[in-house]
């Protein structure tokens, strides 16, 4: 199987050297070699990524250094914690819920940006309505099938109309490298909030710091001066 399988032409993986250079977190095992070690990658950290040819591509991240492979038929999304009716949803069940499409620039806090990315999925707020959120809940925690990355949002952030549980991206089903079959997409915030391989949504009274936040990224990741996502 080719290493590049599943990568769209809008995609370039990020090499360990490049990534550590730009993120400086020192703990991340990111990605496969070859295509990665391109000059364009090393320019990203300087913020030139968007100015040079090939700069506006996704860098594929995984904090574990590999991708959890989740078959669409085996996929489950658990909604747990302070809810009235805990649920476990299959991908088919998610896909029968009302869906929303978003188109927006995708922006990593390290400086790279992909213009006008198309997304489709279910509003997180619709899922929260299905399970019924307890009065004591103030925040939502998110877990990944990778077993390491975690995120959180306040309940009011989680209820924003452009925060979705996404199953389509870039014109097709979400590929494994991009976090498929299902990832979170938090349109108004930087990319690290858009947790890939989403496995669990948990309502809590007090959130614990997410993976990136524990490593120094801001808990509130609003993209400055961002345009609102177009919603349909
Ligand atoms: N599970 C998981 N989700 C993740 C990450 C990760 O390493 N693991 N990286 C985050 C960061 S920092 C960014 S910018 C985006 C990148 O999305 P992509 O890998 O599809 O390009 O995913 C976010 N979600
Ligand atoms: Mo990122």
Dump the DSSP string for 40-94. HHHHHTTT-TTTSTT-SSEEE--TTSS-----TTT-EEEEEESBSS-EEEEHHHH
* CB-CB contact of 103 with 229 (8 Å): yes
197 lines ligand 1 (CB under 6 A): yes
| Sequence ranges of the domains in the chain | 10-225
Within 8 A by CB and 6+ apart from 83, the residues are: 128, 131, 132, 133, 134, 137, 203
- The best mutation among 191, 197, 200, 210 to test binding of ligand 1, ranked by most ligand atoms within 8 Å of the C-beta, falls on 191
63 lines ligand 1 (CB under 6 A): yes
pTM above 0.75, yes or no: yes
* CB-CB contact of 128 with 153 (8 Å): no
Tell the residue nearest (CA) to atom 23 of ligand 1: 192
56 lines ligand 1 (CB under 6 A): no
CATH homologous superfamily of 10-225: Oxidoreductase, molybdopterin-binding domain (3.90.420.10)
Q: What is the pLDDT of residues 15-39, one digit of tens each?
A: 443 343 334 333 343 433 323 323 2
Q: What is the pLDDT of residues 66-87, one digit of tens each?
A: 999 999 999 999 999 999 999 9
Within 8 A by CB and 6+ apart from 97, the residues are: 122, 126, 127, 130
60 lines ligand 1 (CB under 6 A): yes
Higher pLDDT, 195 or 45: 195
């Amino acid at each position: 199987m080719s290493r590049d399988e599943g990568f769209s032409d809008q995609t370039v993986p990020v090499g360990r050297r490049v990534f550590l250079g730009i993120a400086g977190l020192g703990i991340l095992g990111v990605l496969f070699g070859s295509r990665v070690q391109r000059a364009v990658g090393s320019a990203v950290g300087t913020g030139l990524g968007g100015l040079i040819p090939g700069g506006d591509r996704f860098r594929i991240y995984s904090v574990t250094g590999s991708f959890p492979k989740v078959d669409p038929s085996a996929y489950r999304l658990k909604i747990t914690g302070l809810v009235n009716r805990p649920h476990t949803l299959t991908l088919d069940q998610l896909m029968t819920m009302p869906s929303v499409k978003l188109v927006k620039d995708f922006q990593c806090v390290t400086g790279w940006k992909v213009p006008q990315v198309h997304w489709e999925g279910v509003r997180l707020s619709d899922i929260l309505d299905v399970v019924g959120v307890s009065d004591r809940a103030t925040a939502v925690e998110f877990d990944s099938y990778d077993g390491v990355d975690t995120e959180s949002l306040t309940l009011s952030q989680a209820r924003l109309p452009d925060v979705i549980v996404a199953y389509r991206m870039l014109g097709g089903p979400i590929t494994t490298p991009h976090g498929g079959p299902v990832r979170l997409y938090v349109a108004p915030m930087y990319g690290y909030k858009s947790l890939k391989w989403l496995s669990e949504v948990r309502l809590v009274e007090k959130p614990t710091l997410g993976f990136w936040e524990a490593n120094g990224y801001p808990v509130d990741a609003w993209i400055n001066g961002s345009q609102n996502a177009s919603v349909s």
